[in-house]
Structure 1
Amino acid sequence: MKNTIFLSFSLAESSVSDYFLLLAHEFNKEYKVVIFSDVKKSENITLSNDIIVKYWPSVRPTKLVDGIFLYQNIKKYKPVLTVSIFGSVNIFLIVGFLCGVNKRVAWIRTLSSQFPQKKLLIVRKSLVYRLSTNLISNSQATKDDVVQKFGVAKNKIKVLPNSVADSYERIILEETKYKTITYVGRLHNSKGVDILIRAFWVVHTQFPDFKLIIVGNGAEKNNIENLVKELSLEKHVEFKGNLSKRKVLEVFKNTYLAVIPSRSEAFGYTVIEAMSMKTLVIGANNTGIAEIIEDLKTGMLFHTGNSIDLAKKIIQAIDQPLLREKLANEGYKHFIHNYELKKAIERDYSYFKSLINT
């Protein structure tokens, strides 16, 4: 009889879901797999018939009814390993601990600085993390943050970088690249979109035919739109809102360069998504971003928070198209070697197997 693995993630069309779906199918070769999701499975997502899907009673699994639901399933299936991410981490670690699950793994993919720094929340998270047997972070920056902020021992945390599929050949490339600069992500203060807007204002004075594309929504949208108006850039900045993952990749493949201006970033999925489309990435020189991009080798880095330095890097890339092409191609090679999905699954599955067997 096969042992059981529990995986908790959203069955949505996203890079995170792509990873866990492939991991689920890899586990399914040797184990019974049960997936817990907070959203209904999209018709575009394919699962093996013998993979079991459970849907949380609540939209966000934080209530007593969700705890009871998980308790009942643990008692029924007796998992040897549970892996949780994002909103299900607390309930998986607490109920898993109470039920004596052998290996309880939580995946941490955000920095504490990106959330309200309330002492009670920090204390609560510190206590919850103690209930895990192992933690996974997506970068060294995230690992350092967890150690410093929540008091977790270094040897309890394994760094496994994020990954995305190599979809380059499946995404259409227009005949000529648009004269666009692209940002993809949440419109949140930590993401530094205001820094990009101010940098683009400088770039626009030299290259008025370039446009700035902003993909995503968030709490800072009104402030960013007001800044665009203040700088008289309304005709040169386009807000796309949220797009599907495929549309995002299309935008990346057909843009001149992508910018990741975050003030801090655990890893930066959009860095490797843009790299996977052979697009030059200019990122802020901090935390998880600087772990991915090697300046003037696999992309470009600018001084965090410095819109003038960012503008200089963008202008350099526009002025030197051969440099742009070289860095874009080297970035793609770097992605294939370090962050391509299938290779990551091989690496991570080996890690999980070693956990189960110890």
Structure 2
Amino acid sequence: MKILIYSSVFIPRIGGIEVIMFTLAHEFVAQGHDVKLITHTPNNKTDSFPFQVIRCPTITQFLELTRWCDLCLHACVSLKALWPLLIVKKPLVLTHHTWYQYPGSKLTWQAALKHWVTRFAATNIAPSQAIAAQLPVPVKVIPNSYQDDVFYEMPEVNRDQELVFLGRLVSDKGVDLLLNSLKLLKQQGLEPNLTIIGQGPEESNLRKQVQTLGIVEQVKFVGTQFGKALARLLNAHKIMIVPSLWQEPFGIVALEGIACGCVVVGSEQGGLKDAIGLCGLTFTNGNVEALTQVLAELLLNDSKLNMYRVHREIHLAKHKAASVAKTYLQVLEGIIQ
């Protein structure tokens, strides 16, 4: 099968969609299919992927690639990428990884137009029930995968650290809420250590907050980490917290934590709860008291941590890269037969 993937953003940019589409393309090739990927993300270095990447294509290139393929797989609705399908009739599959209309917000004309476009896709796919519920058409839910060749349990690593956060240091991610929770835990006589992995515009404010709250000795900022070094760091921790204030569409970071042996505590609205499954607990977005209660419960009871780890292998099996790609391919093959 000849598959043309369109992803407006792609490696070397770092983000969820970039990783998702790279993993799918890589696995499609590994399972015997011919893949080409179009993106508007430039790269100053030479690409060395098992599939061809066409960056910032010309009109002619875009049209020729559409003629070449058996079907088009687009990462989210991008209106500027749909025009070739008005000329060359090929099946369109849309995989949606973000909100077009944020839950509870007013429907904009741009979101309404994207919703309208979903009606012309042969199939619509979403990684979580939350995203699927926002779309006006039938949607097949296929969960996202994680890099299972990078994130896994390392028995040689001593799991002697307690709490870890992994993500960009921006206001929506709720790190300030987590720091306030540490202060409340301290008032209860609990002083767990917290490792903050990541960088972002809120870092200076968060460092000041740590000083103001008097929890300097508990909190360590380690910056951005990648690959096996990141996996080893996660393996050293017991609990990962994903305290997002906004509703996450999914939450690959939770899968990475679970794969490395962490129990995950995350905000419950949106698709994050799908990523956590039975491998952790959720709390109401933005509720510092609820977060504090959950953390105290886990910190005081190792048997509960072990209880959530029991479900790890079954949960992760659904999110292995090869398994997710196989499910996608079953959908794609069904369309062109």
* TM-score normalised by structure 1 residue count: 0.79
The 1:171/1:85 distance shift into structure 2, 3 A limit, reads same
Stretches of structure 1 lacking an aligned partner (at least 5 in a row): 58-65
How far residue 109 of structure 1 moved from its aligned partner, in angstroms, is: 1.0
Query: Does 2:60 match 1:54?
Result: no
How far residue 257 of structure 1 moved from its aligned partner, in angstroms, is: 0.7
SS of the residue 2:296 aligns to: helix
Residue in 1 that maps onto 2:325 = 345
2:291 is aligned, of 310, 329, 338, to 310
- 2:131 and 2:249 in contact (8 A); partners too: yes
How far residue 138 of structure 1 moved from its aligned partner, in angstroms, is: 0.8
Looking at structure 1, the residues matched to 109 and 65 of structure 2 have their Cα atoms a distance apart, in angstroms, of: 30
How far residue 46 of structure 1 moved from its aligned partner, in angstroms, is: 6.1
How far residue 317 of structure 1 moved from its aligned partner, in angstroms, is: 1.3
Query: Does 2:6 match 1:8?
Result: yes
Looking at structure 2, the residues matched to 6 and 195 of structure 1 have their Cα atoms a distance apart, in angstroms, of: 42
Query: Does 2:111 match 1:122?
Result: yes
Looking at structure 2, the residues matched to 140 and 41 of structure 1 have their Cα atoms a distance apart, in angstroms, of: 38
Determine what percentage of the aligned residue pairs are the same residue. Answer: 17
SS of the residue 2:3 aligns to: strand
Looking at structure 1, the residues matched to 204 and 116 of structure 2 have their Cα atoms a distance apart, in angstroms, of: 37
Residue in 1 that maps onto 2:218 = 236
Residues 305-342 of structure 1 show CA distances to partners (whole Å, capped at 9, x for unaligned) of 21122112112212112221231242x22333321222
Residue in 2 that maps onto 1:24 = 28
How far residue 18 of structure 1 moved from its aligned partner, in angstroms, is: 5.0
Residues 260-309 of structure 1 show CA distances to partners (whole Å, capped at 9, x for unaligned) of 11231111111111111121111122221223435xx5212223221122
Number of positions where the alignment pairs a residue of Structure 1 with one of Structure 2: 327
Greater shift, 346-355 or 5-14, is seen at 5-14
The 1:135/1:261 distance shift into structure 2, 3 A limit, reads same
Query: Does 2:167 match 1:163?
Result: no
Letter of the 1:346 partner, please give it: K
Letter of the 1:298 partner, please give it: C
User: RMSD of aligned C-alpha atoms?
Assistant: 3.1
Residues 49-86 of structure 1 show CA distances to partners (whole Å, capped at 9, x for unaligned) of xx4331225xxxxxxxx5554234334x2x22111225
Residue in 2 that maps onto 1:273 = 256
SS of the residue 1:274 aligns to: helix
2:166 is aligned, of 155, 176, 184, to 184
Alignment of 1:1-358 (within 5 A): 4-9=2-7, 10-12=10-12, 15-17=19-21, 19-26=23-30, 29-30=32-33, 32-37=34-39, 38-40=41-43, 47-48=49-50, 51-56=51-56, 67=59, 69-75=61-67, 77=68, 79-85=69-75, 89-92=78-81, 94-111=82-99, 112-113=101-102, 119-145=108-134, 147=135, 152-153=136-137, 155=138, 157-167=139-149, 172-173=154-155, 175-205=157-187, 206-208=189-191, 210-263=192-245, 264-294=247-277, 297-330=278-311, 332-357=312-337
More helix by share: 1
The 1:351/1:232 distance shift into structure 2, 3 A limit, reads same
- 1:6 and 1:34 in contact (8 A); partners too: yes
Looking at structure 2, the residues matched to 143 and 16 of structure 1 have their Cα atoms a distance apart, in angstroms, of: 17
* TM-score normalised by structure 2 residue count: 0.83
- 2:28 and 2:325 in contact (8 A); partners too: no
